[in-house]
Amino acid sequence: MITVGSGPGADVPDAPEGRTVRNPVLPGCHPDPTVCRVGDDYYLATSSFEYVPGIPLFHSRDLVHWRPIGHAVDRPEQLSLAGVRSSEGLYAPTLRHHDGTFYLTSTFVGPNGSGQVGNFVVTAQDPAGPWSEPVWWEDEGIDPALFFDDDGRAWATGTRESRSPQWDEQAEIWVREMDRTTLRLVGPEHVVWRGALLGAAWAEAPRLLKVEGWYHLLAAEGGTEHHHAVSVARSTRVTGPYAGNRANPVLTHRHLGRTHPVMGVGHADLVELPDRSWWAVVLGTRPYGGLYENLGRETFLVPVTWEDGWPVFAPGVGQVRLVERAPSLPAHPWPENPVRDTFAGGLGLAWNAVRGPAAAFAQAGPEGGLDVTLLPATLDGARPAAFVGRRQQHVDVDVTARLRFEPASADEWFGLVVRQSDDHHYLVVVAGAAMEGGPRRILVVRRHEGRRTVLLVVPAPDGAIELGLRVRGQEYEAVLVGEDGEDQHLVTLDGRMLDSTVADSFVGVWLGLYGTSNGMPSTTTAHVEWFEYAPVPPAA
């Protein structure tokens, strides 16, 4: 289950009365949300970039509580991410359901060595999987989506850089029919939108829906950072022409300044409830400790009404609130996940590897825990490395792992990692002796702007070791936990270099486990008895 997060910043004024939900509903790096309803069930997907398995799927019965159920891209033969760079990979999915089948479209940004790049569609009978092999579209650009009309015809949308731009970063949105049998695009292409405002950058994330006979085109524009926004246009024909809403942009926080607790709001998708009320999921960020967004772009829930045939986002307020009224659905929380993960049955759905499957190096131990075989690859490059991590979803959190690891050389490392990208991460690891006969060492290593620096070297105690991270805002304290349970301070790490803007990245932070032999051959295996992720409640 995803726990509703308590985030940085004060609550937005004028919090609603009655039953409420705390935004974001998917804290941590869950950007580009897409949602669809099937009966009383709601399903949601988000982008995942270089992390595997890719494109996580979630299930809810109340739009508030979400549990992970699977991934749309979960095997290399379906799509390989080997070789992609940081913040490449899988972008901007759209999830739809029609006539008993789930359809998911996405963009793969490479290269990955296989030549598979661009937009694709996969299908499944169950959103938990298995999902089909991708059908690749012969088109250009990013952010594909599907719309199924009342007559059963399927229409695809997407965006690309304008072929005849009138200004810098102008994009254009196209509509084209998809053959429901072959899942390939057919017929003529129709360019229907170039942005609501003069000079609008990157009209993207197009989604079509039909309400009371009108075709509505939702689009993001302004770029996915501070100036992000949601705009809408409509037409009586699916292929246009489309006229923009005179109220555009219909949702943005760019006019609220950089002190607002929620920024970069955009990339919306809509869903209708059984009582005919409407809600939107959007992405946004919650900077803290300054303009730093370590948690990445998160998924927020926003009420929507319709006036004069147009959607009104956050009516009466006009902004995303950290505390919002709950949808008119019975509350349906899922069982809480335990703080301590003993890896019974292997890695759960919260865990990701990078660029390649974790099964290549990590297996459930025969008597519990997780066995991780070191790989020569490091986290500094584009090769799959022996890394498994989970999203940082809370500003304040305690992370602890109990390890058994006997390195065969000074080149063999295993321990905790704080990963933002290939060029921005921290390691807190046990390493082999610097010289023959010497003790194991604990190393704290920083990689910043592509340069590795060893910040601390201390002798490691014998036997099992508990390493920890005590994260409080932008301070990431590395600790060694003693036999009495008391923390021994190692070093406090500056979290500001983990910000997505500093790292020129599209993702947030992952916290996890990592082992390497630093380019040397190795058969050494580390054993993880357990891993704890314990959110720290905010001070009263």
Residues recognised as catalytic: 32, 204
| Residues 98, 38: Cα–Cα separation, whole Å | 9
DSSP 134-163: PEEPS--SEEEEEEE-TTS-EEEEEEEE-S
Cα Rg of the chain (Å, integer): 23
Give the count of beta carbons closer than 10 Å to the beta carbon of residue 40: 12
Q: How many residues does the chain have?
A: 540
Cβ count near 286 (within 10 Å): 25
CA dihedral 74, 301, 154, 229 (to 10 degrees): -100
Tokens of 87: 């913040």
**Structure-token pair, residue 537:** 């409640």
Coil, helix or strand at residue 254: helix
274: left (phi over 0), alpha (psi -120 to 50) or beta: alpha
Q: Quickly list DSSP for 409-450.
A: STT-EEEEEEESSSSEEEEEEEE--SSTT---EEEEEEEETT
Containing H/E element for 54? strand 54-60
CA angle 159-175-250, nearest 5°? 65
Mapping DSSP to helix (H, G, I), strand (E, B) and coil, where does residue 300 land?
strand
Neighbours of 323 (CB within 10 A): 13
Residue 3 to residue 338: CA distance in whole angstroms: 11
Peptide bond into 24 cis (omega under 30): yes
**Alpha carbon distance 330, 335 (integer Å):** 16
